[in-house]
Amino acid sequence: MFRTHTCGELRLDNEGTDVTLSGWVQAGRDFGGLTFVDLRDRYGITQVVFDSDDDAALAERAGKLGREWVVQVKGQVRERTNKNPNRPTGDVEVLARELTVLNRSKVPPFTIEDETDGGDDLRMRYRYLDLRRGPLQQNIIFRSRLALAVRAYLGGEGFVEVETPNLIKSTPEGARDFVVPSRLNEGQFYALPQSPQTFKQLLMVAGYDRYFQIVKCFRDEDLRADRQPEFTQIDCEMAFVTQEDVLNTFEGLTRHLFQEVKGVELGEFPRMQYDEALRRYGSDKPDLRFGMELNDLTALGQGKGFPVFDAAELIVGICVAGGAELSRKQLDGLTKWVKRPQIGAKGLIYVKYNEDGSFKSSVDKFFDQAALAGWASACGADAGDLLLVISGEAEKSRDQLGRLRLHVAEMRDMIPAGVFKPLWVVDFPLLEWDEEHQRFHAMHHPFTSPKREEVDRMLTGDHDTMKSLRADAYDLVINGAEIGGGSVRIYDRGLQEKNFQLLGFTPEEAEAQFGFLMGAFEYGAPPHAGIAFGFDRLCAVMNGQSSIRDFIAFPKNNQGRDVMIDAPAPIDAGQLRELALRVTVDRDGAKS
Ligand code: ASP
């Protein structure tokens, strides 16, 4: 038997018991006749003591153990004289009688502690060592508990777990596909699913009624901290439901998960229309943990001779509570921040509402005190507050100010910790007009249905009508992060064809790519709708973290590489020949 207890288990109750522990050597300390070894496993750390008065040879061997060696210790539990209140096992130690080295370890390239000295790259290269550290173990175990809770809840609600294939053809979710060459069909390629979208709809046609899957999705996108080329969704689809049914079911799931896995009782799940979210927060995923809403100042700001404002489609401002105290330097810093290419504002205008009731602004030349007072009241500002104003094209200005809102909230510590604010954003547009390429994109995906009352307009309307169509599409947002999204689907061949046509498909292209789905719609497709949650992101948000990478056991880096296994990698000439492929780029990236 390797162990009678784990390293996180022993308490004062066990005093006097003979035990066997196995684990990793976290640290060793020599105090004259006593050698202390901290033994770690995933359950905790237990102090083991070797007394040279009892057994000098044993104590000497213990003194030579290296960090991360795997050892087995037999001994007796005793009360510690100097207890460690920071450890659940801190009241006891094991007085060792026997020591077996099960395996040695090289000196690890970084410390296996909660706070490590290892940089990102090194930790990714030795991910198996990084995963030994407490914070990561907690994350990975949290993820497992969450997955189990999802299965239990949805299973209880009558959902059937069905696996869908990974070697498929393109499912457009708006990203590039990863492709896999087929050996048996030379010159042809599978695409990895960006989501199981078409398959889950086919399962509804097949009568499964309620489907779910915790499933890998693959999207070849530029990567950021909250994106990975392969990520996991809680993917669901339901038949004979309305949007309302889907929202209620998944509000239920979300409440259950927070309650079950975090002990958190979520408050209300308000609903907000897409247009309203943009208007009030400059974002389709507003963070409701703090206010600082956007206010339209267009009418107040125009016609006073300030050319920038007069030329703008929109003038929009936020009120930063207590912000009048910001220094010139801080304000310049904010101006620089919004002018960065990632934000892209042309400038930032400020108005300080001084404690004495006077106003000081960067546009004093054009606006007198009364005018500025008008802005302040439109933004609900009090003495001591600061207005930050952006102007220009409506959509862009709202987006820029929306991001500034988040930045300022972080900078000024306005976001309460440990608070969760869910929100359903509903009534997304069906289509998005791409000015540059003069074409429509699906706002959610091509299978999303317009609202029932919009169908006629969609079938008969002109170009501008198409821009204004609304869909039964919805997103769940928590604390400003998009947790999931879904829609009511088209289940009629004619409407689906029309949608493809609007999206720029010829009938032949639509048939070649999605004929199987439209064909299925001709065999008794029920009305259906669904949703998918980003599982990695849900894990991160539930833990108040922003990086999903820390919740994925083996993630990829910013270049999409797994630096531990060194993938992607070239394949050998034989394999290429078998696949009938020729590579036109050398190892350094030069093309031939
Ligand atoms: N397939 C969609 C997505 O990945 C979710 C859905 O519409 O159910 O975003």
Q: In ligand 1, which atom is closest to the CA atom of 217?
A: 4
What backbone phi and psi angles, to 5 degrees, belong to 435?
-65, -40
Task: For residue 231, report the distance from its CA to the centre of ligand 1, in Å.
Answer: 13
Residue 586 pLDDT level (bands cut at 50, 70, 90): confident
Residue 225 pLDDT level (bands cut at 50, 70, 90): low
For position 587, what pLDDT does the model report?
72
Residue 459 pLDDT level (bands cut at 50, 70, 90): very high
Q: Is the CB of 446 under 6 A from ligand 1?
A: no
Q: Tens of pLDDT along 468-479?
A: 999 999 999 999
For position 138, what pLDDT does the model report?
96
Q: Tens of pLDDT along 270-294?
A: 999 999 999 999 999 999 999 999 9
- 413 pLDDT more than 90: yes
First CA to last CA across the chain, in angstroms? 61
Question: Under a CB-based contact definition with an 8 Å cutoff, are residues 76 and 95 in contact?
Answer: yes
Q: Is the CB of 530 under 6 A from ligand 1?
A: yes
Burial of 145 (0-12, 13-18, 19+ CB in 10 A): middle
Task: For residue 169, report the distance from its CA to the centre of ligand 1, in Å.
Answer: 16
Q: Tens of pLDDT along 49-102?
A: 999 999 999 999 999 999 999 999 999 999 999 999 999 999 999 999 999 999
Q: What is the mean pLDDT of residues 318-325?
A: 97
Q: What is the mean pLDDT of residues 96-117?
A: 96
Residue 375 pLDDT level (bands cut at 50, 70, 90): very high
Q: Is the CB of 487 under 6 A from ligand 1?
A: yes
Q: What is the mean pLDDT of residues 379-392?
A: 98
Q: What is the mean pLDDT of residues 226-233?
A: 93
Place of tokens 């489907």: 211
The pick from 192, 194, 195, 489 for probing ligand 1's pocket by mutation, whose C-beta has the most ligand atoms within 8 angstroms, reads 195
Q: In ligand 1, which atom is closest to the CA atom of 531?
A: 8
Question: Under a CB-based contact definition with an 8 Å cutoff, are residues 496 and 518 in contact?
Answer: yes
Q: Which of 207, 397, 435 is nearest to 318 (CA)?
A: 397
Residues 6 or more apart whose Cβ sits within 8 Å of residue 517: 198, 201, 202, 447, 496
Task: For residue 41, report the distance from its CA to the centre of ligand 1, in Å.
Answer: 39
Question: Under a CB-based contact definition with an 8 Å cutoff, are residues 182 and 190 in contact?
Answer: yes
For position 430, what pLDDT does the model report?
97
Provide the mean pLDDT of the chain: 96
Q: Tens of pLDDT along 163-174?
A: 999 999 977 677
- 259 pLDDT more than 70: yes
